[in-house]
Structure formats: C-alpha cells, structure tokens
Amino acid sequence: MVKAVVLGAAGGIGQPLSLLLKHNPLVTSLGLYDIVNTPGVAADLSHISTPAKVVGYLPADDGLAKVLTGADVVVIPAGVPRKPGMTRDDLFKINAGIVRDLATGIAKNAPKAFVLVISNPVNSTVPIVAEVFKQHGVFDPKRLFGVTTLDVVRASTFVAEVLGDLSKAPSITVPVVGGHSGVTIVPLLSQSSAALPADFTQDARVTLTTRIQYGGDEVVKAKDGAGSATLSMAYAGAEFAEKIIRALRGETGIVAPSFVHLESDPASGAALKKEIGKDLEYFSAPVELGPQGVASIKPLGALTPYEKTLVDAALPELQTNIDKGVSFISASK
Ligand code: NAI
C-alpha cells in the first residue's frame, strides 16, 4: 500500500504528474492538493481503471492536513514557473513562502514521508524544507530529495540526438551533478553510458554541456510567456517518484541523481565533500536509494579537467543558493 500526494496538483506539472502517478500500479492511494481545481482533477483521474484511489482537497476544511495524513511520498510542484528572461532564482520571493507553508503541513501531518521537491529554485527550496522540519524536530535528511531528474532526462535525450538514434535515449544514462540551475547543473558526459563519437570535439562537448545546463530556457522561450517545462518535468518527476516508491517497498540497488543533504549518509557525504573540496551542506549526486531513503551518496568518480572546472564553477553559486534558503527560514523565526 503506497499513498502518494501531490501538492500543487492542478498546475502545469501537477496535472500530468498526477496522471502518471495514477497510471503507476504501485500507487494505491493518490492525494491531490492545490489552492484551486483539485476536486475536478481528482474526479477526472478517479475514472481511470488503475488501482489508486484518488482524493482531491482544497485549503478549506483543513484540506492540507487531510491530504497529507498517511502519505508515504509527497511530491511538491506548487509555485510559480519562469517566464522569458527570468532565472530560477527570480522565483524565490514567491515560491519560498509557498514551500515553507507546505513543508509546515508535512512536518505536522506526515513527518515520516519521503519529500520530493520540484518547486524552483530547488537549490534553495530543499534547504527551506529541511529548516522547517528542523524547527518541528522531524528532520530526517535521508527522506528529503530535490528533483533534478529532468536534467538527467534531458542529458539522455540530447546525447541520443548527438548519436543520431533517439531509440537509444531510454537506455542512456549520464550522471548530472551539482545542483538544479544554470552553472550548477554539471553533466558528466565522460561518464555517459553510451560513448560520444570518437571525433566529438571539445567545442561540441561545451555546446552539449551548455544545452543540458540551459535546456529549461529552450522550453521557456518556446512557450513564450506561458510557463516552463511541464510535460517533460511531469515525466521526470514520475520516474523519480517510481524509484523512490520501489526503494521504500524494499528494492535495493536503485541509483538516481538527486539534490540531497550531505548528512543523509554521513560517511559517503563526507567523502563527497572531500572530493569537491568544499564543505557544502547539499549537493546533487547519484544516490543509492533504500527503504529508509538515502542509503549512500556515490562518489563523482574520475572527472575530465573540463568537468572539474564546471564543478568548481558550480560551488560558489550553490553555497549562495543554499544560504538563501536557510536564512529565509531563520529570518522568519
Ligand atoms: P503552474 O503555475 O502551472 O502550477 C503551479 C500550481 O501550484 C498551480 O496550480 C497553483 O495553484 C499551485 N499553488 C500555488 N500556491 C500553492 C499553495 N500554497 N499550495 C498548493 N498549491 C499551490 O506551474 P508549473 O509549471 O506546474 O511549475 C511549478 C513549479 O515547478 C515552478 O516553481 C517551476 O519553476 C518548477 N519546475 C521545476 C523543475 C525541476 O526540474 N525541478 C522543472 C520545471 C518547473
């Protein structure tokens, strides 16, 4: 029995993500919450002939507490998306407060749930959730994940495009590490499971890396003011949620990159800090999942000199983003 909850379920990501979770036979109960339209979305999804029982709540009548009760996995895509010319950090002002309030609801009503944060800027919203949980005395770093899967999905697709064979995309894995915005997104193309062509130049590698880092901008531009990635994000969110659900049901050996607290597994977290040469609190790295959440954080492994410069460039920005999230909560105490 697995109860999944989507907070922000009526939005551009929330609706297709809820559809994909309803489609997942491992989900037996699906709770939807938003400030608008959830009864309609829930009624619609409830007619699909899959096991999950769907309920939808609005804020009235303690809807947040009701939807969260009994949750095993909570996915948060609530908040405003980017418009052309905006960075993810520009969203902070609005989304920080939304995520803080939803995290408070989780701390009170589902403190043991696995929490998957999609709302941007992920590099700051994940620390916000952690600080709220700490205030409530329920923080377990093993259970908190920033969803960076879309960067991983994009990397697989773009590498398959370079190889001229999209049918390879589902089986290609490229670790993407660091964080989830601009320069903090670091694809480790040298570790791609499918080798790039032998004549792939350094210039082409830089172009591909930049495309993965700024893939979100392609969508923001094409949508021309109507928002950012929603369908590909829903796909990526559902894929990561499925891995989390399989892990909590006892499957071992599942590895997926995610933006996690480096105390989630102190030994491997300390080793990663040593590898990157900085005492950061959070970093996105391939994480081995287990029934308790983070089982271990994998080392980055051998980096090319170019990849090392990318990691180094990500570190100061990551520190700033993390500090911004932490101080948002300490300032509002
Ligand atoms: P959207 O505006 O279409 O949907 C957001 C939903 O959140 C709306 O239905 C809104 O009513 C709801 N919402 C607002 N305040 C709420 C609250 N207090 N409680 C519950 N629900 C609330 O936006 P979209 O496109 O779905 O994006 C959502 C977030 O996901 C944005 O922050 C966006 O930047 C982020 N995102 C993250 C990605 C990632 O890779 N992690 C990729 C793409 C977007």
DSSP 267-295: HHHHHHHHHHTS--SEEEEEEEEETTEEE
The contacts of residue 146 (CB under 8 Å, 6+ apart) are 117, 122, 123, 125, 126, 179, 180, 258, 259, 260, 282, 284
pLDDT in tens, 303-327: 999 999 999 999 999 999 999 999 9
**Nearest CA to 31 among 62, 81, 60, 72?**
72
Q: What's the CA-to-centroid distance between 100 and ligand 1, angstroms?
A: 14
Ligand 1, atom nearest to 227 Cα:
25
Antiparallel, parallel or unpaired: β 185-187 and 114-117: unpaired
Contact between 190 and 304 under an 8 Å Cβ cutoff? The reply is yes
Q: Could you report the predicted ipTM of this complex, rounded to two decimals?
A: 0.99
The CA radius of gyration of the chain, in Å to the nearest whole number, is 19
Q: Could you say which DSSP state residue 169 is in?
A: G
Q: What's the CA-to-centroid distance between 5 and ligand 1, angstroms?
A: 14
Question: What is the Cα–Cα distance from 39 to 330, expressed in whole angstroms?
Answer: 35
Class in CATH terms, 149-329: alpha beta
Q: Is the CB of 254 under 6 A from ligand 1?
A: no
Q: Which of 20, 34, 83 to mutate to test ligand 1, by most ligand atoms within 8 A of the CB atom?
A: 34
Q: Tell me, what's the pLDDT at 332? A: 80
Residue whose CA is at the smallest distance from ligand 1 atom 8: 11
pLDDT in tens, 97-136: 999 999 999 999 999 999 999 999 999 999 999 999 999 9
**Nearest CA to 213 among 297, 156, 155?**
155
For the chain, what's the residue count?
333
pLDDT along the chain (333 residues), means of 10: 98 98 98 98 98 98 98 97 88 95 98 98 98 98 98 98 97 98 97 96 97 96 93 98 97 96 98 98 98 98 97 98 97 78
Q: What's the CA-to-centroid distance between 15 and ligand 1, angstroms?
A: 10
Q: Is the CB of 14 under 6 A from ligand 1?
A: yes
Note whether 3-147 and 149-329 share their fold.
Answer: no
Contact between 252 and 287 under an 8 Å Cβ cutoff? The reply is no
Q: What's the CA-to-centroid distance between 98 and ligand 1, angstroms?
A: 10
Q: Which of 32, 58, 80 to mutate to test ligand 1, by most ligand atoms within 8 A of the CB atom?
A: 80
Q: Using alpha carbons, list the distances in angstroms from residue 69 to 3, 18, 22, 105, 112.
A: 9, 18, 18, 10, 11
Contact between 194 and 158 under an 8 Å Cβ cutoff? The reply is no
Q: Is the CB of 227 under 6 A from ligand 1?
A: yes
Catalytic site positions = 180
The contacts of residue 188 (CB under 8 Å, 6+ apart) are 174, 175, 176, 177, 300, 301, 303, 307
Residue whose CA is at the smallest distance from ligand 1 atom 7: 78
- Per the annotation, does 164 bind a ligand? no
Contact between 311 and 303 under an 8 Å Cβ cutoff? The reply is yes
Question: What is the Cα–Cα distance from 280 to 274, expressed in whole angstroms?
Answer: 10
Residues 252-285: b if buried by 16+ CB within 10 A, e if exposed: eeeebbbbbbbebbeebbeebbeebebebbbbbb
Q: Is the CB of 12 under 6 A from ligand 1?
A: yes
Q: Tell me, what's the pLDDT at 333? A: 66
- Per the annotation, does 185 bind a ligand? no
Q: What's the CA-to-centroid distance between 94 and ligand 1, angstroms?
A: 11
Domain ranges of the chain: 3-147, 149-329
Which residue type does 121 have?
Answer: P
Q: Which CATH architecture has domain 3-147?
A: 3-Layer(aba) Sandwich (3.40)
Q: Is the CB of 51 under 6 A from ligand 1?
A: no
Q: Is the CB of 325 under 6 A from ligand 1?
A: no
Q: Is the CB of 124 under 6 A from ligand 1?
A: no
